[in-house]
């Protein structure tokens, strides 16, 4: 028995005792095991299930296993799949959105966090770092993945220091290994006849105290240091990380992106095997009547077609756009988002790329080493689980041939407490959730103005009066109306872009004396495509300047014809303090902001609202990323200064 | 669509498209003024040239390709092909692999027989256009059929990854052999299904059967130690007994002007019958004891089973029971092979083999070059062999129903055709339809 | 929203093996419920009821490979609201589309003693080359879950969830080990559309592209990588399979067919290919 919480030595023949201890309290032990000639992570019943005597040989796009290499237990390095699969499963039920067959009422039942208790054995230093990164991404922000947190809190982690390395390894460069420093309960280092064991937590110390064996000798401790140092030397320092974030972001136009895209299959393998990639989509399975709708969260990938698609098109249509997104996110914008690189140097993306693309080579080619610049950024942690609340449809008011404004009455008052410009995620039984901006807040209801652009929005518009609709929100940033105090306000809207701006108008008109002159410039395709037409007149009567223009004229239209920027040409907006809020199609916003800047509005007082593919609305699924931003969480309203040249660049 | 067009004193029945059969075919029946009946079974499946498609391919590729001849019995095609190759290449097969293949084949028999008995054929006996309509009044019967069918599919999927066009069969064995615990889910459903299949035999024997009398020549495989399925000599009720290598000495394919498919024929021109009736008749002694007992309990004599074409549903039910019972035995004793597949070396020569598809003997013959590449192929599916027997039986049966109202007579003849479970998609080569006019 | 009148559904076939329409009957647990919610007015494989349409939904199996089929599909389209092609034959021409590069009369002669009596088009082509197709289910055969999702989506009114990612994505989610990287097995998973559930790697063999090329399949890169350990002919032959006529695989398939199946001599030696 090891009595002190010091360094212990566990003879190899007694490893089973450790497994028994780990299993106490009903834990299932998970570790590497060889199946069908390949290493997987799965349940370990006995020491014989561990890969005793097996070794791996890895190269870009190649992995081979062989056995008969003595009796070492942990001589294989990383296998294909990481521990992510147990803490953040590839498919995870998140809830059910059901519709009663009897009365049509709707209910949402979120799934309870998974209660299973696991113990991991064989976790490498880079993997511990990956778990730490996921802790920040999934459980360290405003919204927390409760299932992740439950699984993570319940897991015991037995780490192993690497005494061999694979050709893809670069933990040394990323500062994550091979030495195990934190995040573990126990750590083993394998020597010729057994394991040197240390504890890394109080739970680990309790286990260590009950482990058979003896204290490690100074010689054994020295052997541990030597073995790990040898691993470090074998890996070297393959990636120059100094200033990598800025070096990469300075190379968004590198010709190398197109070259690597010629080789890249966009097959998603690098993201699936990556221990830190966290992007997900929702998948719904319904019964034939759409009464029971089970929603699952499914691993997705920024390499997938459709990942960055919205109704109007794909923001990253080319393979080079997708490869650039992946690489810059992992090594650069991740730092902005979470204060750490997204890469731990485990080398999986190198080995498991089917065509052997080596990320270390690409980094060296795209962003050769330069002077270091560091920009630490840590988001405050908070914990407000977002869940769907049921609202009732009170009325539906048609605006145009394909657009209507819905009056929704929530039972949860928080839904009414949003800011102008915020949005809600709408959940209908049988459909993936989708974002809709709030077009007005009232005392007991909110209004959503919805264009029937696809089946889901069509289904929303077809909801019968009295029908139930799930909403989550309000979400995202709003228009900074407080910054408009004392200033002239220019509101420029294109088409349905007027909907998220209407709450701004409501706010300004409610306290008109506190703001300067208010100008609304509104462009629509045809006169019949204009929203809120009766209100437009009422607003003008209350002293706002309301200008309208249409692309194509129609019956009874005597107003302007042309693009919305025509309404702003030749205006002097620079001589008085002015703030501008712009919402519409992305190209319209690009043109408008350019005209507004020419007219004298400064970039930091120019705000736009962006549309991106959103599935979760709370910064967890990854679809809406744009450079360092999650548009759902950090936007949709951005100042032009925040966006920089990301705003006008294609394929970001 | 059933239309009758009497012409010049002759009676002409035409069943425009046979329904509740796999693939597209039709029946043309002519009754001359003197009462002579001529039946012509036409097949208008589009030609897909499988015997040419496999040229230039490796044996393993051929196993994938020939499955696509028929979505109903892909395993049969894979089994005839893989055994033919292994026979030529002299590959030693692990006994566990052999059992696993038999299990796979049992799965297909269960699926195909359950499909035919409950979904395609039962509506004939009970008077419905389809099983879905039949389910309004006989939900329990349809559900029983569906659950057995599902079980058959599940067996194929565990061994072969999916129910249709399984993908694990390779020359020498399998790409992967299931672990024993993967079959755990089957134990209890198999027990239930065996009991239900016993009831099915009883039910099938109780069906009201139209009178029919014939003396068919029966052909099936015969193996000394097991019910005919994947291995054995080709035997007949009248003394044929030969190795599949010698198929061509007793059978050949002919082109008949009224048929769209090449018809297989015995050397002497006498039609022959394949399938459950033939197998049950020729290998009654090798039925699983539970299947044999269930058959005996029906009190249908071997002679009646053979001579009344409508009793084929009983024979099929007996085989459904047999396949379930055999599958249960294999699953209970299964231990994975040491290696999923044996190694093999290419060799030039002719590879021939026959196995028993659910609807009868399926013959394959391939010519391989020294690199193991297929240079020629002949595939003779059961339906093209049964075609002459079907026409023969129709001609024999027709006079008994000609006095009935036209629709009823047509329905009866369709029922007869369905007794053979014809799988028309299987016909690998077809001829253009030529309508013959009575003159 | 759930429709009130059951949609009139037809299931028909062109040149094919019947496996895809059998998939509907293989939905054993749901079949009776489907029959209550959809009016299966035309499905010759399963029912003696017949209907010439009109159809709300028509599932079309098989490729267009005879002159009659080319007329038939135009006629069916005119009587159908929503035409859905099911399976590799209907969506890509099927394995029989490999004849599209061959000397078709010679193929006919190699199989039929009297080839002049065969009416067959020189090509086997996907339905979409003949008429507008509203939706497609890929696969050889189609996947039962996708078929069920299509039917469910028709009822619920949503767009069917039919992912267009690579097989690799699902393969990794299922925790399967890459047969290409770890086994050196030729696998088309990276360029093939998901839908089957990544079955081949689960059974330790390479994907052979039953679901056809995925969106923007980089076949050139994959072929180049596979060509390191294989001859060009072997690599091309991988693509010349059940979806070999799909545009992304077409060029490799054409080369494979030319090498694999050179036109045989007209006078066949008696016997081998009857």
pLDDT in tens, A274-305: 999 999 999 999 999 999 999 999 999 999 98
HEC sequence for B104-164: HHHHHHHHHHHHHHHHHHHHHHHCCCEHHHHHHHCHHHHHHHHHHHHHHHHHHHHHHCCCC
User: Minimal Cα–Cα distance from B256 to chain C, Å?
Assistant: 11
Residue A386: the pLDDT is: 62
CB contact under 8 A, C32 and B119: no
Q: Nearest CA to A481 among A451, A452, A454, A515?
A: A515
Enumerate the residues of chain A whose CB falls inside 8 A of the CB of residue C175: 40, 81, 85, 90
How many C-beta neighbours within 10 Å does residue A535 have?
15
Contact status, residue C189 vs residue A45, Cβ threshold 8 Å? no
Enumerate the residues of chain C whose CB falls inside 8 A of the CB of residue B115: 22, 25
User: Minimal Cα–Cα distance from C216 to chain A, Å?
Assistant: 8
- Write the residue in B46, B142, B367 that is nearest to C14 by C-beta: B46
Residues 213-272 of A with CB under 8 A from C: 262-269, 272
CB contact under 8 A, B20 and C45: yes
Helix (H) or strand (E) holding B278, with range, is helix B276-282
CA dist list (Å): C199 to A87, B166, B434, C91, C176: 25, 10, 44, 20, 10
Residue C230 touches chain B, beta carbons under 8 Å: no
Residue C1 touches chain A, beta carbons under 8 Å: yes
Enumerate the residues of chain A whose CB falls inside 8 A of the CB of residue C169: 267-268, 272, 299, 301, 304
Q: What is the mean pLDDT of residues C132-141?
A: 97
CB contact under 8 A, C182 and A40: no
SS3 of residue A549 by DSSP: strand
CB contact under 8 A, B150 and C19: no
Nearest CA in chain A to C32: A288
Would you list the DSSP string of A93-105? EEEEEEE-TTT--
Nearest CA in chain B to C104: B49
Q: Buried b / exposed e across C231-258, counting CB within 10 Å, b at 16+?
A: eeeebbbbbbbbbbbbebbbebbbbbbb
Enumerate the residues of chain A whose CB falls inside 8 A of the CB of residue C174: 90
- Write the residue in A81, A273, A288 that is nearest to C155 by C-beta: A288
| Residue A413 pLDDT greater than 90, yes or no | no
Nearest CA in chain C to B424: C17
Q: What is the mean pLDDT of residues A204-224?
A: 93
Q: How confident is the model at residue A620 (pLDDT cuts 50, 70, 90)?
A: confident
Reported ipTM: 0.93
| Residue A121 pLDDT greater than 90, yes or no | yes
| Residue C41 pLDDT greater than 80, yes or no | yes
Residue B36: the pLDDT is: 76
**For an interface test with A, which of C9, C156, C183, C226 has the most A Cβ atoms less than 10 Å from its Cβ?**
C156
Nearest CA in chain B to C40: B132
Longest CA–CA separation in chain B, Å: 71
| Residue C105 pLDDT greater than 80, yes or no | no
CB contact under 8 A, C37 and A273: no
Residue B367 touches chain C, beta carbons under 8 Å: yes
Nearest CA in chain C to B257: C117
Q: Nearest CA to A352 among A413, A258, A279, A273?
A: A273
CB pairs under 8 A between B and C: 208
Per-residue pLDDT of chain B (439 residues; tens, 9 = 90+): 333 333 444 556 565 666 666 666 777 777 777 777 787 777 766 778 898 899 999 999 999 999 999 999 999 999 999 999 999 999 999 999 999 999 999 999 999 999 999 999 999 999 999 999 999 999 999 999 999 999 999 999 999 999 999 999 999 999 999 999 999 999 999 999 999 999 999 999 999 988 888 889 999 999 999 999 999 999 999 999 999 999 988 888 876 665 556 777 888 888 999 999 999 999 999 999 999 999 999 999 999 999 999 999 999 999 999 999 999 999 999 999 999 999 999 999 999 999 999 999 999 999 999 999 999 999 998 888 888 888 888 888 888 887 888 778 778 888 888 888 877 654 433 222 222 324 3
* pLDDT tens, residue by residue, C189-205: 999 999 999 999 999 99
Range in A622-626, B363-367, C266-270 with the lowest mean pLDDT: C266-270
- Answer yes or no: pTM beyond 0.90: no
CB contact under 8 A, C166 and A266: yes
Nearest CA in chain A to C222: A355
Residue B358 touches chain C, beta carbons under 8 Å: no
CB contact under 8 A, B167 and C48: no
Percentage of residues in chain C having pLDDT higher than 90: 74
Q: In what order do the strands lie in the sheet with B2-4?
A: B2-4, B11-15, B25-31, B37-43
| Residue C262 pLDDT greater than 90, yes or no | no
Residue C71 touches chain B, beta carbons under 8 Å: no
Q: What is the mean pLDDT of residues A435-455?
A: 93
Residues 22-41 of B with CB under 8 A from C: 22-24
Q: Which two structure tokens, joined as six digits, stand for B249?
A: 């000495």
Residue B20: the pLDDT is: 64
**Residues near C139 by Cβ (< 8 Å), separated by ≥ 6?**
C20, C87, C88, C146, C195, C196, C210, C211
Q: What is the mean pLDDT of residues A362-370?
A: 85
* pLDDT tens, residue by residue, A516-567: 999 999 999 999 999 999 899 999 999 999 999 999 999 989 999 999 999 9
CB contact under 8 A, A319 and C204: no
Residue A248's region, left for phi above 0, alpha for psi from -120 to 50, else beta, is alpha
**For an interface test with C, which of B48, B66, B146, B252 has the most C Cβ atoms less than 10 Å from its Cβ?**
B48
CB contact under 8 A, B176 and C204: yes
Q: How confident is the model at residue C241 (pLDDT cuts 50, 70, 90)?
A: very high
Q: How confident is the model at residue A378 (pLDDT cuts 50, 70, 90)?
A: very low
Residue C142: the pLDDT is: 98
Q: Nearest CA to C130 among C225, C268, C14, C215?
A: C14
Q: What is the mean pLDDT of residues A425-432?
A: 90
Residue C107: the pLDDT is: 72
CB contact under 8 A, C169 and A272: yes
Residue A380: the pLDDT is: 32
What does the alpha-carbon distance between residue A167 and residue A169 come to, in Å, rounded to a whole number?
A: 6
CB contact under 8 A, B51 and C111: yes
What does the alpha-carbon distance between residue A248 and residue A261 come to, in Å, rounded to a whole number?
A: 17
CB contact under 8 A, C169 and A299: yes
Residues 4-63 of C with CB under 8 A from A: 30, 33-34, 37
CB contact under 8 A, A354 and C149: no
Residues 218-237 of C with CB under 8 A from A: 218, 220-222, 224-225
**For an interface test with C, which of B132, B377, B411 has the most C Cβ atoms less than 10 Å from its Cβ?**
B132
Residues 89-108 of B with CB under 8 A from C: none
Contact status, residue B430 vs residue B386, Cβ threshold 8 Å? no
CB contact under 8 A, B168 and C205: yes
Beta bridge partners of B169: B174
Residues 243-262 of C with CB under 8 A from B: 259-261
User: Minimal Cα–Cα distance from B294 to chain C, Å?
Assistant: 26
Residue B53 touches chain C, beta carbons under 8 Å: yes
User: Minimal Cα–Cα distance from C217 to chain B, Å?
Assistant: 23
- Write the residue in C2, C166, C225 that is nearest to A290 by C-beta: C2
Q: Nearest CA to C142 among C11, C6, C8, C7?
A: C11
Range in A331-340, A349-358, B17-26 with the lowest mean pLDDT: B17-26
Q: Nearest CA to B11 among B417, B371, B404?
A: B404
Contact partners of A by the rule of 3+ C-beta pairs under 8 A?
C
Residue A470 touches chain C, beta carbons under 8 Å: no
Please give the angle made by the CA atoms of C253, C254 and C258, to the nearest 5 degrees: 115
């Amino acid at each position: 028995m090891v009595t002190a919480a010091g360094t212990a030595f566990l003879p190899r023949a007694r490893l089973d005792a450790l497994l028994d201890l780990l299993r106490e309290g009903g834990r299932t032990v998970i570790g590497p095991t060889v199946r069908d000639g390949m290493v997987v992570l799965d349940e370990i019943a006995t020491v014989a299930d561990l890969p005793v005597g097996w070794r791996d040989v890895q190269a870009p796009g190649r992995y081979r296993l062989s056995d008969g290499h003595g009796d070492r237990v942990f001589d294989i390095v990383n296998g294909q799949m990481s521990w992510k699969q147990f803490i953040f499963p590839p498919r995870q039920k998140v809830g059910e959105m059901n519709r009663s067959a009897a009365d049509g009422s709707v209910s949402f039942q979120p799934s309870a966090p998974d209660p299973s208790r696991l113990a991991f054995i064989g976790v490498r230093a880079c993997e511990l770092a990956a778990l730490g990164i996921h802790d920040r991404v999934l459980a360290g922000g405003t919204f927390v993945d409760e299932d992740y947190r439950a699984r993570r809190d319940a897991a015991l982690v037995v780490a192993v220091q690497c005494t061999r390395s694979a050709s893809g390894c670069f933990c040394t460069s990323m500062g994550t290994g091979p030495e195990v420093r934190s995040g573990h309960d126990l750590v083993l280092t394998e020597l010729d006849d057994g394991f040197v064991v240390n504890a890394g937590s109080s739970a680990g110390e309790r286990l260590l105290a009950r482990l058979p064996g003896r204290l490690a000798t100074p010689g054994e401790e020295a052997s541990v240091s030597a073995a790990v140092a040898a691993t470090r030397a074998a890996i070297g320092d393959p990636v120059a990380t100094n200033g990598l974030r800025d070096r990469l972001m300075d190379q968004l136009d590198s010709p190398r992106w197109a070259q690597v895209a010629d080789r890249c299959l966009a097959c998603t393998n690098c993201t699936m095997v990556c221990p830190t990639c966290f992007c997900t989509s929702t998948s719904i399975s319904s019964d034939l009547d759409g009464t029971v709708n089970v929603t699952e969260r499914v691993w997705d990938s920024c390499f997938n077609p459709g990942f960055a698609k919205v109704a109007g098109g794909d923001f990253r249509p080319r393979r080079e756009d997708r490869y650039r997104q992946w690489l810059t996110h992992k090594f650069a914008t991740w730092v902005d988002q979470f204060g750490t690189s997204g890469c731990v140097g485990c080398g999986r993306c190198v080995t498991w790329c089917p065509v052997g693309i080596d990320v270390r080579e690409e980094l060296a080619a795209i962003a050769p080493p330069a002077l270091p610049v560091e920009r630490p950024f840590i988001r405050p942690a908070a914990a407000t689980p977002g869940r769907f609340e049921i609202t009732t449809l009170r009325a539906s008011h048609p605006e145009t041939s394909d657009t209507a404004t819905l009056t929704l009455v929530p039972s949860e008052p928080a839904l009414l407490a949003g800011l102008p410009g915020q949005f809600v995620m709408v959940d209908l039984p049988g459909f993936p959730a989708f974002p809709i901006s709030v077009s007005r807040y009232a005392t007991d209801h909110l209004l959503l103005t919805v264009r029937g652009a696809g089946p889901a929005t069509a289904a929303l518009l077809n909801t019968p009066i009295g029908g139930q609709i799930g909403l989550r929100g309000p979400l995202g940033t709003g228009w900074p109306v407080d910054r408009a105090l004392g200033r002239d306000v220019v509101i420029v809207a294109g088409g349905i872009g007027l909907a998220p701006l209407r709450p701004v108008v409501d706010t300004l008109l409610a306290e008109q004396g506190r703001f300067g002159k208010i100008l609304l410039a509104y462009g629509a395709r045809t006169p019949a495509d204009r929203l809120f037409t009766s209100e437009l007149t009422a607003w003008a009567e209350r002293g706002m300047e309301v200008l309208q223009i249409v692309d194509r004229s129609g019956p009874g239209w005597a107003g302007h014809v042309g693009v919305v920027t025509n309404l702003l040409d030749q205006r002097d907006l620079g001589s008085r303090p002015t703030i501008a809020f712009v919402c519409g199609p992305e190209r319209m916003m690009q043109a408008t902001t350019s005209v507004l800047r020419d007219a004298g509005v400064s970039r930091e007082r120019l705000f736009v609202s962006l549309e991106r593919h959103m599935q979760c609305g709370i910064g967890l699924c990854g679809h809406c990323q744009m450079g360092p931003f999650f548009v759902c969480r950090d936007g949709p309203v951005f100042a032009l200064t925040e966006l920089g040249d990301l705003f006008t660049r294609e394929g970001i | 669509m059933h239309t009758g067009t009497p012409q010049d004193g002759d009676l002409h029945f035409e069943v425009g498209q046979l329904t509740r059969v796999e693939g597209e075919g039709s029946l043309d029946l002519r009754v001359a003024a003197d009462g002579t009946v001529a039946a012509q079974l036409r097949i208008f499946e589009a030609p897909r040239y499988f015997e040419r498609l496999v040229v230039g391919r490796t044996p393993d590729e051929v196993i994938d390709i020939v499955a696509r001849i028929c979505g109903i019995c892909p395993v049969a095609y894979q089994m005839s092909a893989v055994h033919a190759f292994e026979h030529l290449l002299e590959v030693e097969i692990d006994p566990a692999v052999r059992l696993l293949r038999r299990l796979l084949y049992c799965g297909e028999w269960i699926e195909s027989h359950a499909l035919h008995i409950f979904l395609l054929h039962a509506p004939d006996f009970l008077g419905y256009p389809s099983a879905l309509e039949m389910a309004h009044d006989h939900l329990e019967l349809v559900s029983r059929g569906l659950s057995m069918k599902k079980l058959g599919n599940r067996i194929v999927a565990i061994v072969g990854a999916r129910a249709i066009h399984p993908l694990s069969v390779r020359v020498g064995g399998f790409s992967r052999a299931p672990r024993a615990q993967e079959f755990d889910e089957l134990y209890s459903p198999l027990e239930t299904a065996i009991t239900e299949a016993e009831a099915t035999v009883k039910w099938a024997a109780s069906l009201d059967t139209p009178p029919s009398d014939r003396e068919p020549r029966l052909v099936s495989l015969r193996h000394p130690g097991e019910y005919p399925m994947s291995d054995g000599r080709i035997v007949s009720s009248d003394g044929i007994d030969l190795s599949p290598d010698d198929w061509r000495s007793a059978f050949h394919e002919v082109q008949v002007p009224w048929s769209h498919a090449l018809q297989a024929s015995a050397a002497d021109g006498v039609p022959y019958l394949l399938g459950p009736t033939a197998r049950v008749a020729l290998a009654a002694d090798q039925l699983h004891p539970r299947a044999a007992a269930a058959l005996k309990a029906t009190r249908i004599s071997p002679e009646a089973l053979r001579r009344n074409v409508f009793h084929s549903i009983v024979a099929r039910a007996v085989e459904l029971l047999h396949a379930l019972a055999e599958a249960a035995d294999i699953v209970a004793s299964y231990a994975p092979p040491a290696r999923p597949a044996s190694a093999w070396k290419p060799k030039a020569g002719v590879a021939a083999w026959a196995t028993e598809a659910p609807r009868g003997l399926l013959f394959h013959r391939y010519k391989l070059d020294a690199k193991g590449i297929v240079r020629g192929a002949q595939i003779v599916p059961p339906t093209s062999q049964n075609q002459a027997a079907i026409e023969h039986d129709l001609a024999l049966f027709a006079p008994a129903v000609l006095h009935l109202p036209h629709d009823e007579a047509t329905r009866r003849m369709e029922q007869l055709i369905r007794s053979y479970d014809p799988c028309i998609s299987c016909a690998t080569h077809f001829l253009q339809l030529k309508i013959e006019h009575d003159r | 929203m759930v429709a009130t009148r059951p949609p009139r559904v037809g299931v028909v076939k062109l040149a094919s093996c019947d496996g895809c329409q059998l998939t509907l009957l293989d939905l054993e647990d749901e079949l009776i419920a489907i029959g209550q919610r959809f009016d299966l007015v035309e499905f010759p494989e399963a029912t003696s009821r017949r209907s010439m349409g009109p159809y709300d939904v028509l599932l079309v199996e098989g490729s267009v490979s005879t002159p009659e089929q080319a007329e038939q599909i135009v006629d069916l389209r005119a009587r159908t609201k929503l035409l859905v092609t099911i399976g590799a034959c209907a969506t890509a021409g099927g394995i029989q589309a490999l004849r599209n590069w061959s000397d078709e009369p010679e193929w006919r002669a190699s199989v039929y003693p009297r080839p002049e009596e065969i009416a067959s088009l020189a090509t086997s082509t996907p339905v979409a080359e003949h008429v507008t197709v509203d939706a497609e289910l890929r696969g050889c055969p189609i996947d039962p879950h996708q078929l069920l999702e299509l039917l469910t989506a028709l009822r619920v009114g949503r767009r069917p969830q039919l992912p267009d990612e690579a097989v690799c994505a699902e393969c990794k989610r299922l925790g399967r080990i890459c047969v290409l990287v770890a086994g050196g097995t030729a696998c088309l998973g990276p360029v093939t559309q998901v839908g089957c559930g990544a079955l081949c790697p689960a059974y330790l063999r390479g994907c052979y592209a039953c679901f056809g090329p995925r969106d923007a399949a980089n076949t050139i890169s994959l072929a180049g990588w596979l060509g390191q350990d294989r001859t060009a002919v072997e690599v091309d032959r991988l693509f010349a399979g059940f979806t070999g006529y799909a545009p992304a695989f077409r060029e490799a398939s054409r080369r494979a067919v030319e090498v694999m199946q050179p036109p045989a001599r007209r006078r066949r030696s008696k016997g081998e290919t009857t």
